[in-house]
Chain A
Amino acid sequence: MYQNDIGKRSAKVKNVVERGAVKKFAEAVGDPNPIYWDEETGKRSRYGRNIAPPTFPRVFDYGVIEGLTLPSKGLIHGEQRFHYERPLFVGEELYCYAEVKDYYEKQSSMGLLGFLVIANNGEDADGNLIFTSTSTIIINEAVRKAMSV
């Protein structure tokens, strides 16, 4: 049902790696290491500043992919992948967008399952890709049927 959406992208949205948001996020995943929030620790580190935890890109705004309608309920987050060229720096601006990478269906004991693969990307101001966060979302048969009504 999403085959025709493969390749669709959102427009880029400027995001800032906000200091307060990074600290709050690090605390929420039980990782309050000072490299994420203490300015002195950041300055003394090899990065010369604070960095963000690897799963922080969850908080960014990736914009809206025109024409892609997802069910509001019943989605299962099946897999998640992050790839980094370097850690994210606190205070930097990133230009983020989402892209439908793939859609396929598989028969399972729970019926026909749909697998939607969405890549959330972040680039620097020069257009260099800094990270990709790829989610595989599982859509079960009941949800797919409800959607097509």
Chain B
Amino acid sequence: MTTIREWQVGQSLPDVTLAPVSRLDLIKYAGASGDYNPIHTIDEEAKKAGLPGIIAHGMWTMGNLAKLFTPYYEEGFVQDYFVRFQSMVFLNDVITLKATVKEKDDKAIRFAVAAVNQHGKEVVKGEAVFLLYE
């Protein structure tokens, strides 16, 4: 398997495109996280809140984005992970997860990370520092 250390500044980890966002995805995340805010699962509640329909939990998208780093857990771990929730994710949106190396030294790799929807809009954007073991 490729090691994360081999990635150079400007290179990207393989993109991951998720299946279209389903209500069941959000119900599962609500149950697993304990975040039962109904704007994420119940249409009427989302409409009452002035939304066109239910929206994904920001943390669902952030949680998905982190999996780009999971295959490399033997080499290090995600020490810092920051995102800004820039835009809402709706049902049936198709989200692509991206990570590009911004900086690198012997101890850590800093990535620019983003989740992008089917219109090319960055819905979540931030950075992650992957700390390398000696």
On A, residues with C-beta under 8 Å from B are: 21, 24-25, 27-31, 33, 35, 45-47, 51, 53-55, 58-59, 73-74, 76-84, 86-87
Contacts and interface: CB of A to CB of B under 8 A. Distances in A.
Given A58-B33, A78-B85, A82-B80, 17 more contacts: A25-B33, A28-B63, A35-B70, A54-B78, A55-B62, A55-B81, A59-B34, A76-B85, A77-B59, A80-B58, A80-B62, A80-B82, A80-B85, A82-B81, A83-B80, A84-B78, A84-B80
A58 B74 contact: no
A5 to B, nearest CB: 22
B32 interface: yes
B83 interface: yes
Contacts of B71: 33
A33 B70 contact: yes
B82 A27 contact: no
Contacts of A81: 80-83
A30 B18 contact: yes
Nearest to B45: A73
Name the residue in A24, A29, A51, A74 with the highest tally of chain B Cβ atoms < 10 Å from its Cβ: A29
B70 A29 contact: no
Interface string B64-95: 10110111011001111111110000000000
Chain B, interface size: which category?
20 to 34
A31 B64 contact: yes
B67 A28 contact: no
Contacts of A82: 78, 80-82
Contacts, number: 100
Interface string B25-39: 100110111110000
Nearest to A78: B85
A16 B85 CA distance: 29
Nearest to A53: B66
Contacts of B82: 79-82
B12 to A, nearest CB: 19
Nearest to A87: B77
